[in-house]
Structure 1
């Protein structure tokens, strides 16, 4: 394990030792972050995916409308 991570863990545990419940929550959060399943990252990824899908749908809609207009202009 990296020295910085160990120091951070010890610091957070010592800081939160006054409140046992808060300390255990901090340890769980740090543990999940170290494992790589941080909820904030998932939310960011989900937001990015939703935004990309909206943009993609809008582009498809514009192409569809342009093709519809072109059909009428040709006839």
Structure 2
């Protein structure tokens, strides 16, 4: 999961000039694209993980708390 995210981030970094043609919006656009990609990957992973567990709501809260905690600690 982490390796896939890193590879995707590297790909976006290399192709950002195509995705974000205006240089003054480059940084903002890059951040927005990264955020959107992370959100999509996180949502897919959470739904997949929680479907296996069978407790979608509880599991989503559980994963969210872990992710927030990890983000704050880092």
Same fold (TM over 0.5): no
Q: Normalising by the residue count of structure 1, what TM-score does the alignment of the two structures yield?
A: 0.39
Q: Normalising by the residue count of structure 2, what TM-score does the alignment of the two structures yield?
A: 0.40
Bigger Rg over Cα: 1
